[in-house]
Each structure stands twice: as C-alpha cells, then as structure tokens.
Amino acid sequence: MTAHDNNSLQELIKNRRSIFPDSYTDRELSKETLLQLLECANTAPTHKLTQPWRFTVFRGEALTRLADKMASLYQENTPAALFLQKKYEATRRKVLRSAAVIAINIHYSGEVPKWEELAATACAVQNLWLSASAEGIGGYWSSPGSIKHMADFLELSDGEECLGFFYMGYHEEPQRGASRTPVAEKIRWEE
C-alpha cells in the first residue's frame, strides 16, 4: 500500500457517514455490486475463524415483503394507545426507498464468547459500510425492536439472531466531517 492509498483509506474512514433512505436516488444496486461489497464484509477479522456473520439480502420485490412484515410487526407489537400511523408508514417507506436492505444476522458458534462473535460481525458490517461508501453507496445500520420477532421470516436457525438491518442506496449527499469529540479526550497514555 502506498502512502497515497493509505491517505485515501484514512479519508474514506473519516468521511463515512450514515446516509438515510430519504436521501437515496432511484438508481438500482446490482446483485454483482452487492456481492462485491459482501465479499469485503466477509474478510472481517474473526477469532478461531468462526465467521459468525450471515446476511439476508432484500432487493426488488422482496423489499415489499420486508416492508410489509416490518410494518405489521410494529402494529402487532405496539399497544393501540401508542400506535402511530406516521411511524407505520415511515417503517414501510424506509425499506421501499432503499435499493437493498441487508438483514445482519449472526450465528453463535459456541467456540468463543458471544461478545467476540458480535465484535466480528460488527467488523464485517464496517467493511461493508466502508466499501459501499467508496462506491458512492449510502447506508446505515438500524436495530428496530421488531428484529426480535424476525427469526421465522428470516428463516434463522437455532443459534442465529438478527442484529438489525443495513439500508443501502446510491445518493448525492455532499461529504461532511465527523461529529466527534477529540480523540485526545479518550486516550490515557502510559509511557
């Protein structure tokens, strides 16, 4: 890796942002592009090579099925006094505005502590996110309450769990800097 490549990588990391479905264009996200991005996700570090990440990719007509399921779960699991039609419709719209939605699932191997499987899966999502950002594809990871009711819909096996959804789409948002407190406030040096 050259110094120029390293600088580009650092800029990509620093400029990666959550881009939400309302900002997505109508441009299709091809299966080939998604596969390339998921190949990057698949290279995440993993203790004992358990590779716990599992992905269910929704695109095309499957987005309507996902939107309907998520909206119905919101309605079924929300007391009538707290139900908001606006949230029901927003739940559907987020999915339908996306070019693809990826269910982020995890398979607990039992070989390593669960937190290590979670950390490995989060690394896989970060790889997916960074590679998508490099292609001009926006995304964000959402973990709605409905994920605890998605096992049957996602056909998850015993030992598997849905950790959320990664919404994706091409966008035309300008780059913007990170909103972070200085790293110096998060470091204690011992020399």
pLDDT tens-digit series, residues 87-121: 999 999 999 999 999 999 999 999 999 999 999 99
Give the C-alpha separation, 23 to 25, whole Å: 7
Of the candidates 2, 14, 24, 11, the one whose C-alpha atom is nearest the C-alpha of residue 136 is 24
- How far is the C-alpha of 126 from the C-alpha of 165, rounded, in Å? 13
Instruction: With a cut of 70, say whether residue 3 has pLDDT above it.
Output: no
pLDDT at residue 149, rounded to an integer: 96
Kindly tell me if the per-residue pLDDT of 6 is higher than 70. no
Q: What's the CATH class of domain 20-171?
A: alpha beta
Instruction: Give the model confidence (pLDDT) of 66-91 as tens digits.
Output: 999 999 999 999 999 999 999 999 99
Contact between 55 and 103 under an 8 Å Cβ cutoff? The reply is yes
User: Is the model's pTM score more than 0.85?
Assistant: yes
156 contacts 128 by C-beta, under 8 angstroms: no
Question: If we measure between CA atoms, which residue out of 162, 68, 156, 157 comes closest to residue 76?
Answer: 68
Across 10-14, 40-44, 53-57, 142-146, least confident range: 10-14
CA distance 102 to 88: 20
At residue 179, the pLDDT reads 86
pLDDT of 4 > 70? The answer is no
